[in-house]
């Protein structure tokens, strides 16, 4: 149910309500917003107010307007849009540094807070990685590997950390795919992360953090080597 706005700061209120509806998946990425007249009636505002609110969200990166196609949802939140803009401008090494910061913290928190259900989910991801490794199925391996990392982050039980990492998922796929294209002989078995799983299972925060740090350092060295060649 869309709430009617009051008469104070209408543009800001309408923009916030549209953003909330997008975050609540009332409208998903790729969806087209309803016709302008329908939105005017639902929000009980003027055409100019609605258009200013939409323009603000287009500028923020949540929406995109195309002549003849209407207004399309492009991001799930202002945070998502901002991250996508910055990530596109970042280098492989910068992305890796951000991954290290997020994943190291997530691993420590997961080791401290994980549940039995989290362990089951992590085992499923590991088994999927093993299966993909045995078949040398690169696409399945990448998907399963990233799902493992996302599951570790989810086990941290910190919603802001989860949201930050979720908004990096798209670039993580691109990052891993680019690296494995450059380095086709990448040893699949190193991406199964059994040691990290065991550290989280035993609730050993130090071991979990050390594993992530070492894993990222090895990857960083490989990337630097490739970039120099």
| Residue 65 exposure: Cα atoms within 13 Å on the Cβ side | 14
Phi, psi of 228 (to 5 degrees): -80, -25
Kindly report, residue by residue over 25-77, the tens digit of the pLDDT: 899 888 999 999 999 999 999 999 999 999 999 888 889 988 878 899 988 77
Higher pLDDT, 217 or 34: 34
Cα–Cα distances (Å) from 9 to 16, 45, 68, 215, 222, in that order, read 11, 11, 30, 49, 52
pTM of the full structure: 0.66
Q: State the CB neighbour count (10 A cutoff) for residue 11.
A: 18
End-to-end alpha carbon distance in the chain: 58
Kindly report, residue by residue over 97-145, the tens digit of the pLDDT: 888 889 999 999 999 999 999 999 999 999 999 998 888 888 888 888 8
Instruction: Report the distance separating Cα 196 and Cα 215, nearest Å.
Output: 10
pLDDT at residue 219, rounded to an integer: 75
pLDDT at residue 83, rounded to an integer: 67
pLDDT at residue 44, rounded to an integer: 92
pLDDT at residue 181, rounded to an integer: 59
Q: Mean pLDDT in the chain?
A: 83
Which CATH number does 90-228 carry? 1.20.120.530
pLDDT at residue 178, rounded to an integer: 63
Within 8 A by CB and 6+ apart from 129, the residues are 141, 144, 145, 148, 188, 191, 192, 193
Within 8 A by CB and 6+ apart from 4, the residues are 43, 44
pLDDT band at 185 (very low <50, low <70, confident <90, very high): very low
> 4: helix, coil or strand?
coil
Instruction: Report the distance separating Cα 13 and Cα 99, nearest Å.
Output: 35
CA angle 201-221-228, nearest 5°? 155
Domain with CATH 1.20.120.530 in the chain: 90-228
Q: Top-level CATH class of 10-79?
A: mainly alpha
In this prediction, residues 159-169 reach a mean pLDDT of 81
Higher pLDDT, 210 or 74: 210
Domain with CATH 1.10.10.10 in the chain: 10-79
Phi, psi of 186 (to 5 degrees): -55, 125
């Amino acid at each position: 149910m869309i709430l009617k706005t009051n008469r104070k700061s209408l543009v800001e209120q309408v923009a916030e309500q549209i953003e909330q509806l997008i975050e609540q998946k009332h409208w998903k990425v790729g969806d087209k917003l309803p016709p302008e007249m329908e939105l005017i009636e639902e929000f009980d505002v003027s055409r100019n107010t609605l258009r200013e609110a939409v323009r603000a969200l287009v500028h923020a990166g949540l929406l995109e307007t195309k002549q003849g196609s209407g207004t399309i949802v492009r991001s799930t939140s202002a945070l998502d849009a901002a991250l996508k803009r910055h990530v596109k401008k970042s280098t492989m090494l910068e992305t890796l540094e951000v991954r290290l910061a997020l994943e190291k913290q997530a691993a420590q928190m997961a080791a401290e807070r994980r549940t039995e259900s989290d362990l089951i989910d992590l085992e499923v991801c590991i088994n999927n990685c093993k299966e993909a490794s045995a078949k040398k199925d690169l696409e399945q391996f990448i998907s399963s590997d990233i799902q493992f990392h996302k599951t570790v982050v989810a086990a941290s039980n910190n919603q802001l950390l989860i949201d930050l990492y979720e908004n990096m998922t798209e670039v993580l796929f691109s990052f891993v795919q680019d690296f494995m294209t450059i380095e086709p002989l990448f040893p699949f078995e190193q991406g199964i992360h059994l040691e990290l799983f065991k550290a989280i299972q035993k609730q050993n925060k130090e071991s979990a953090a050390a594993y992530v740090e070492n894993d990222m350092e090895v990857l960083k060295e490989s990337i630097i080597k490739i970039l120099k060649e």
